Structure 1
Amino acid sequence: MASLVARAVRRRHPVLIEVRASVSAPGSPRRANEDGCGSAGLYAWVIDGATGLGDEALLDAPSDAAWLTAVLHEALMAGAEAETRPLELLRSAANVATERFNAERRRAPRERYEVPTAAVMLARFGDVIEIVELGDCGLWIETDGVMHRVGGSDQQRQWENESARRLMGGGQGRTPEVTAYLRTVRNTANTPEGYPVFAPDHGSVRRARQHVYGARQGRALLITDGFEAAIDDYGLYDGAGLMAAVEGDVDGTLATIRAVEADDPDCTRYPRFKRSDDATALMLRFAAD
């Protein structure tokens, strides 16, 4: 989804955002890329569309998740100059996605797991860094040599790894049992007993997490969980190491991640639900005037 790769937009803003590197790649050449990233005005973001679990697509797109990623990206691009608060920008994007989903879908979802969802990390760089997030995308901030981590979900990742180990042991792949289990979990999205995530639903932003960091200049790395696996799952880097690797050679860093996954095709050494996930990284420098 090359159109979603980040691009810097320079206007008369008090903060300069310089995109240093970006990549967004599907986990398999046979599947649509359901990730995306972008930058406009004072904002930067990454999006991780959740791979669909339905038997048929609801939308005329490479996949329902790819559709949602594209719609969210377009809404963020369109609203970034007007909205001064990340939560309001994300809420506006949810309204756009809701209206388009209701208008463009072939039929109404029969169960919640059919509704497309996405993790999103959205940051605004001004006198402070304002962040809003849903799901498990990650943000690493380096300022004055100190690293700060925002987002990701150690608990979520531990659950996924344990579930993958239990359900996909011995390299048996995605069985009907695995699909049924994942549908059960997906049915809890944006419910009181479940987990918050972006969706074409006006209320999906209600449980978004917000953070503020007092940094006026430094570097930031926004990543989806397919890229953050280099830290949390494969132990290839720490945060500072991954940031340096991405800025130095983002394509080579992705190739390193893919090599680890290729050496574990049955997902037994590193339990996971698919051999390679979509992976996205957006590296930038920011500085106040």
Structure 2
Amino acid sequence: MQLEILDQLSAPGSSHRPNEDAIAVNGQTILVIDGATGVGEQTYIAGQPSDTYWFVQELQRHLSADLARGQPLVPALETACLATRDAFATHAAPNSVPKYAWPSAVFTAATIENGALALYRLGDCGARDLQRPERVFFAPTRLDDQEQTAINALRDEMAAGYSQATAQQRLMPLLRRNRQNMNAVGGYGALTLDTGFAGFIQKTVISKAELAKTDPRILLFSDGFDGALNQMYLSADNMDLTNALTKLRRTEREDANCTRHPRIKRHDDASAVLIRPTCY
């Protein structure tokens, strides 16, 4: 079995900010990594566009090396997070930094395990079979719930007369409380400066026989690309990721106050990989 990449893209939400997403292709393991916008009072990594950008790039570098050595995906992610923590410690002691200010990310991945396709998810990234969009690979996560709570709070602030920018700042205490609970009981899972995320990972396995029967087109995507699916800019008959993103950005511009299509930010980094598992 092989994973054939049919299309891919990763674009920043703004030309004024770095793209904190990344696509990692390591042999027959493909990941979409979605870095979380920082909510700390300061940054800690000098000379970088953002702490999150640094974290995602550093994590990806270590992960590639660990996968190349033959480690399975989840242990490789744990090892990469520890190595990234060590690198962070050369800039600031992690225990001296509030946990909500730790750089972090979530991901979705596809890999081949024991002759089958294994799909992984941590956080609010996703996977969808464009041939069978009704199929659900993963259950909602705690991060999905927290994001909806934040969206509702943002809408309430704006209804009270605050501008979107001011409303977002007034949300910061809520966002920091949520971020403080990364990898904790009652919180949500994230790749960060510890390894407590493993128990939050969701996994779906699709057998070789089912793949041969259904011939899926699996889309791995960050939550910034999710709107393209919600607006049905992609389908079994139209799998052009660039065209879908162009339409999504136009929709976001036309809804600058985030009211018609509720969300925290007008534009988010958006990444997606379309793959076809090929059976032999």
Class of the TM-score when normalised by the shorter of the 2 chains: 0.7 to 0.9
- Which residue of the partner structure matches residue 11 of structure 2? 25
Summarize the Cα distance change of 1:167–1:125 in structure 2 as closer, same or farther, 3 Å threshold: farther
CA RMSD of aligned residues (A): 2.5
Summarize the Cα distance change of 1:103–1:120 in structure 2 as closer, same or farther, 3 Å threshold: same
The question of whether the paired residues in 1 share the 8 Å contact of 2:117 and 2:277 is answered with no
Give the letter for the 1:82 counterpart: R
Q: Superposition pairs for residues 79-228 of structure 1, below 5 Å?
A: 79-83=66-70, 85-105=72-92, 109-126=96-113, 127-141=115-129, 148-151=135-138, 153=141, 155-169=145-159, 172-175=163-166, 176-215=169-208, 216-217=211-212, 218-228=216-226
The question of whether the paired residues in 2 share the 8 Å contact of 1:171 and 1:266 is answered with no
Summarize the Cα distance change of 1:97–1:52 in structure 2 as closer, same or farther, 3 Å threshold: same
CA distance in structure 2 between the partners assigned to 1:146 and 1:165 by the alignment: 29
- Which residue of the partner structure matches residue 259 of structure 2? 268
TM-score by length of 2: 0.85
Q: Equivalent residue of 1:68, what SS?
A: helix
Of the three residues 212, 218, 232, the one matched with 1:237 is 232
Q: Equivalent residue of 1:57, what SS?
A: coil
- Which residue of the partner structure matches residue 51 of structure 1? 37
Summarize the Cα distance change of 1:106–1:203 in structure 2 as closer, same or farther, 3 Å threshold: closer
Query: Residue by residue, what CA displacement relative to the aligned partner does 1:47-86 show, whole Å, maximum 9, x if unpaired?
Result: 1110001222111321111112112222232222333532
Summarize the Cα distance change of 1:95–1:221 in structure 2 as closer, same or farther, 3 Å threshold: same
Summarize the Cα distance change of 1:66–1:48 in structure 2 as closer, same or farther, 3 Å threshold: same
The question of whether the paired residues in 1 share the 8 Å contact of 2:150 and 2:171 is answered with no
CA distance in structure 2 between the partners assigned to 1:108 and 1:279 by the alignment: 31
2:67 is aligned with 1:69: no
* Bigger shift: residues 72-81 or 112-121: 72-81
Identity %: 29
Runs of at least 5 residues in structure 2 that lack an aligned partner in the other structure = none
Q: Equivalent residue of 2:275, what SS?
A: strand
Q: Equivalent residue of 2:44, what SS?
A: coil
Query: Residue by residue, what CA displacement relative to the aligned partner does 1:31-54 show, whole Å, maximum 9, x if unpaired?
Result: 111111121211011011100012
Give the letter for the 1:161 counterpart: I
The question of whether the paired residues in 2 share the 8 Å contact of 1:230 and 1:237 is answered with yes
TM-score by length of 1: 0.82
Runs of at least 5 residues in structure 1 that lack an aligned partner in the other structure = 1-14
CA distance in structure 2 between the partners assigned to 1:40 and 1:193 by the alignment: 33
CA distance in structure 1 between the partners assigned to 2:199 and 2:237 by the alignment: 35
CA distance in structure 2 between the partners assigned to 1:159 and 1:243 by the alignment: 32
Give the letter for the 1:230 counterpart: A
CA distance in structure 2 between the partners assigned to 1:116 and 1:71 by the alignment: 11
Of the three residues 7, 22, 25, the one matched with 1:39 is 25
Give the letter for the 1:237 counterpart: M
Summarize the Cα distance change of 1:86–1:141 in structure 2 as closer, same or farther, 3 Å threshold: farther
**Per-residue deviation at 1:142?**
5.7
Q: Equivalent residue of 1:150, what SS?
A: coil
